[in-house]
Amino acid sequence: MAEKGRPPILFPLFAGLETLDGVGPKIARNFAGLDVSTPKDLLLTLPSGGIDRTRKASIREAQVPGTVTVEVTVGRHRPSAGRGPYRVEVDDAETRFELVFFHARGDYLQKLLPTGARRIVSGKLELFDSVAQMVHPDHILPPEEAGTLPAFEPVYPLTAGITNKVMHKAAQSALTRVPELPEWIDGELKRQKGWPDWHEALAAAHNPQGAEDLSRSAKARERLAFDELFAHQMTLALARATRRRQKGFSTSGDGGLRQKVLDALPFSPTGAQLRAISEIEADMAAPTRMSRLLQGDVGAGKTLVALMTLLIAVEAGGQGVMMAPTSILAGQHYANLRPMAEEAGVVIEMLTGADKGAERAAKLRALAAGDIQILVGTHAVFQDDVTFADLRLAIVDEQHRFGVAERVRLSAKGMATDVLVMTATPIPRTLSLAQYGDMDVSVLDEKPPGRQPVTTALVSTGRIAEVVAHLRQAIGEGRQAYWVCPLVEESEVTDAAAAEERFAHLRAELGEGVVALVHGRLPPSEKDAVMARFQAGETRVLVATTVIEVGVDVPNASIMVIEEADRFGLAQLHQLRGRVGRGAAASTCLLLYRSPLGETAKRRLMVLRETEDGFRIAEEDLAIRGAGDLIGTAQSGLPRFRIADLELQTPLMALAQSGARALLARDATLESQQGKAARALLWLMEQDKAIGLIRAG
């Protein structure tokens, strides 16, 4: 049965922050800067560093500058003269040094450091005019309180109005609230990994004994990272199980239409294509709804897989729809699919926002009557007046531009539509597990026959004249080229201005009518017209901002020039390079860079020069840029983890996924001992949506 509310054992972890030691209403408000609003949030905000506060007999044993902790006898006070600092002389076992305070109140310091008293002081020691000084010590304690100072002090991430002292005190107070919860990690895995219990792991992570306890591989931290990933994967596994229980159509065809297309192809499909088609075929034949991600590198032949899948729906007497993010892309899919569909005698149509009036009405009538078997379009296929006679399959292209909500709306068009999501952006394994862990994944990792390798070269911007001369010669031989302009700043206006300037320069060099320009500020109809002329070979060089990144197909284009390539991300450069190498001619990609090249930019461009393997490039990109940047955090749907590190803990994420799926396979209602513990974890990690998906009864 699904649970009504959070179990009482967790209540103390979700109380107000003011209930913790040293936290008043004002400090509680300041904690918002760390995204901390409950004791649970604070417990999952682990120290990011540490300071060695082991006691020394004398500052002579310390590294200067550096942090040192010593016991001293307080000597004379030297109050500030004018605007200078207030100084207090102190003696340790071997030598004298000064404590220095700016803007200090003398009466307060006299009380804190009475002359003749013994004190433990700890802080950063520096030499100033060859005098050893400790400016504003971090700690000043009477010797009898020395035990409260840890030998290794954890350092927390901070925000305005929150000091390390406040964090430490509040975290120690929160630790006293931690209940002993039943174990949700599989016993065998926990033993194998040597992980502590949950409450022990928290205590150890907040009380590190040395630098090694702060590392990602420290047992306590690794366990807490796994807990976060496991809760996230439980949520995805529950969503997947729920969807698999939803009634779908069992859609299977006799293969007749598919055979007609295969017979007409001038080449045989790759092993990867055949594997993906059979995985999708099995999903569609099953009585539950398909939810599969098809990942293919640039030019891996997703179009053929998409068509074969759509034909299964048609063979079964139903309809299929394929949706792309822009009208240019929808038009291109339509142009690529139509000749093959017609070969099989299948009716295919296109619907975009440009369809108006009588023409649109006629298409909608034919669709509702079942006369159109395959529809290709933009999100215009979502609109309420679009109805299908029997929609069996929806294919969504370039998923990262469509949120989960659109995925749901689209599948709602059919009673129980199968959904196939396609992306040409190879996604590193961790990210695909985090973002699409609820979906099954097919990967196209072979290039179809006839795809030419692209030669990639790095050229400094100082040699632009040579590049233009090279271009002039290639155009004379009947070839076409792209010239991609740099990203100037986060503004289409400046990007467009840079593109216009380069366009004017190339037009002057290469002649009128040879060069065309396309950028983000052009109205869509004009953009389409420019692209159509380039596709038809009427213009030879297309100067563009990154609007051409995804999917434009001009087999005759064999040169790609990317200006200031050092400003682009790796995945983007890989996508752009994928626009050439589609025809019979040998292709080149020239990466123009501004020298001197920074380390990171150099690493990016070298990787690109060495390999055309999109998956390797994606892994490198992740290592260089990090997960949030890679897919743009705002629309990525990526969870935010407090402890787990998506870039560096791929194996942990994979373990969490297999663990979550295995638990649900054994115990769909989470009623076993481990199942109930997993429910507590979901409440703890505030995965309330998932709790609603636990199968009733």
The residues pairing with 132 across neighbouring beta strands, listed in sequence order, are 127
Is the pLDDT higher at 392 or at 628?
392
pLDDT band of 327, cuts 50, 70, 90: confident
The residues pairing with 319 across neighbouring beta strands, listed in sequence order, are 391
Polymer length of the chain: 697
| Domain 54-149, CATH | 2.40.50.140
Residues of each domain in the chain carrying CATH 2.40.50.140: 54-149
Tokens read off for 373: 């078997």
Is the pLDDT higher at 402 or at 148?
148
Task: Give me the pLDDT at residue 566, please.
Answer: 83
State pLDDT tens for residues 44-63. 999 998 888 888 888 888 88
Q: Over 60: is that where the pLDDT of 637 sits?
A: no
pLDDT band of 697, cuts 50, 70, 90: very low
Q: Averaged over 442-457, what is the pLDDT?
A: 78
Please report, as a single letter, which amino acid is at residue 176.
T
Is the pLDDT higher at 216 or at 43?
43
Please report the DSSP string for 468-489 in residue order: HHHHHHHHHTT-EEEEEPP--S
State pLDDT tens for residues 266-297. 888 889 999 999 999 999 998 888 888 888 87
Q: Which of 108-122, 190-204, 422-436, 471-485 bottoms out in mean pLDDT, i.e. has the lowest?
A: 422-436
Dihedral over Cα of 687, 693, 694, 697: its sign: positive
Task: Give me the pLDDT at residue 628, please.
Answer: 42
State pLDDT tens for residues 6-31. 888 999 999 999 999 988 899 999 99
State pLDDT tens for residues 609-627. 887 777 777 777 766 655 4
Fold (topology level) of 256-444 = Rossmann fold (3.40.50)
Q: Domain 454-611, CATH 3.40.50.300 — does that match?
A: yes
**Edge-to-edge strand list for the sheet holding 391-397:** 348-351, 374-377, 319-323, 391-397, 418-423, 291-296, 440-444
Which residues, including other chains, have CB under 8 Å from residue 30's CB and lie 6 or more apart?
159, 160, 161, 162
Q: Averaged over 522-538, what is the pLDDT?
A: 82
Looking only at the bridges linking them, the beta strands covering 86-91 and 66-78 are: antiparallel
Q: Which of 648-657, 658-667, 683-692 bottoms out in mean pLDDT, i.e. has the lowest?
A: 683-692
| Cα distance between residue 94 and residue 96, in whole Å | 7
| Cα distance between residue 308 and residue 344, in whole Å | 11
Task: Give me the pLDDT at residue 195, please.
Answer: 96
Residues of each domain in the chain carrying CATH 3.40.50.300: 256-444, 454-611
Task: Give me the pLDDT at residue 696, please.
Answer: 41
Q: Averaged over 405-429, what is the pLDDT?
A: 66
Tokens read off for 53: 């506060």
Give me the chain's average pLDDT, please.
Answer: 84
Which run of H or of E encompasses 299? none
pLDDT band of 406, cuts 50, 70, 90: low
State pLDDT tens for residues 119-153. 999 999 998 888 899 999 989 999 888 888 888 98
Q: Identify whether the C-beta of residue 151 lies closer than 8 Å to the C-beta of residue 51.
A: no
Number of CB atoms found within 10 A of residue 467's CB? 17
Instruction: Find how far residue 169's CA is from the centre of its chain.
Output: 34
Q: Over 70: is that where the pLDDT of 344 sits?
A: yes
Task: Give me the pLDDT at residue 287, please.
Answer: 87
Q: Identify whether the C-beta of residue 529 lies closer than 8 Å to the C-beta of residue 542.
A: no
Q: Identify whether the C-beta of residue 560 lies closer than 8 Å to the C-beta of residue 363.
A: no
Q: Over 80: is that where the pLDDT of 683 sits?
A: yes
State pLDDT tens for residues 359-373. 999 999 999 999 999
pLDDT band of 177, cuts 50, 70, 90: very high
pLDDT band of 631, cuts 50, 70, 90: very low
pTM of this prediction?
0.66
| Cα distance between residue 394 and residue 411, in whole Å | 7
Which residues, including other chains, have CB under 8 Å from residue 637's CB and lie 6 or more apart?
403, 404, 435
- Of 72-81, 513-522, 526-535, 642-651, the range with the highest mean pLDDT is 72-81
Tokens read off for 474: 């290639």
The DSSP secondary-structure symbol of 207 reads S
Task: Give me the pLDDT at residue 373, please.
Answer: 96
Percent of the chain scoring above 90 in pLDDT: 32
Cα–Cα distances (Å) from 664 to 661, 689, 695, in that order, read 5, 16, 10
Is the pLDDT higher at 446 or at 294?
294
Task: Give me the pLDDT at residue 632, please.
Answer: 37
Dihedral over Cα of 596, 600, 603, 606: its sign: negative
| Cα distance between residue 337 and residue 199, in whole Å | 57
Cα–Cα distances (Å) from 585 to 80, 244, 302, 573, in that order, read 80, 46, 22, 21
Q: Averaged over 70-93, what is the pLDDT?
A: 88
Helices (H) and strands (E) in the chain, counts: 25, 22
Task: Give me the pLDDT at residue 415, please.
Answer: 55
Cα–Cα distances (Å) from 387 to 318, 321, 334, 357, 410, in that order, read 13, 11, 20, 17, 11
Radius of gyration for the alpha carbons in the chain, expressed in angstroms and rounded: 32
Percent of the chain scoring above 70 in pLDDT: 87
Is the pLDDT higher at 413 or at 464?
464
Task: Give me the pLDDT at residue 330, please.
Answer: 86
pLDDT band of 635, cuts 50, 70, 90: very low
Q: Over 60: is that where the pLDDT of 427 sits?
A: yes
Q: Over 60: is that where the pLDDT of 180 sits?
A: yes
Q: Over 70: is that where the pLDDT of 347 sits?
A: yes
